[in-house]
Amino acid sequence: MSFDVSTVLTTMLKAAEGELGKSWKTVQPFAKIQFQNIAQTIVSIGEEVAAGTINKKQAKYLLSIQEHATKSAMLAVEGLGVVAVENAINSALGAVAGMVNTAIGFTLL
């Protein structure tokens, strides 16, 4: 893989922070944990796809599990709505899409 968890995480957090603006301070502890989980999942998916132990469909399913967990955790923060949370997650994933998709060889994000 041409990236690691910290690279993916840092990029995702910056994108989510930009999307959430003033709400970032409140949601940051939740977001950091959840985006750490997504970043680790993405790196693991890349390794498993490269090893041939999972296929594209399984990879996308594994990522969707983490996306849903992230959405649920961030919605627990008072004052954050569904649209804001979805926009933050989409922004974070969009920020690493090129890097991830190139590294794993197919469109995951």
For 80-97, the pLDDT digits (tens) are 889 999 999 999 999 999
Supply the pLDDT for residue 1: 56
Contact assessment for residue 21 and residue 53, using Cβ atoms and an 8 Å cutoff: no
- Cα dihedral 82, 83, 88, 90 in deg (nearest 10): 110
At 34-70, the pLDDT tens digits run 999 999 999 999 999 999 999 999 999 999 999 999 9
What residue spans define the domains of the chain?
5-104
Residue type at position 66:
Q
Is-contact 102 22, C-beta < 8 A?
no
Per-residue pLDDT band for 2 (boundaries 50, 70, 90) equals low
State in Å, rounded, how far the first CA of the chain is from the last one.
16
Q: What is the pLDDT of residues 3-27, one digit of tens each?
A: 788 989 999 999 999 999 988 998 9
Are the C-beta atoms of 104 and 45 separated by less than 8 Å? Answer: yes
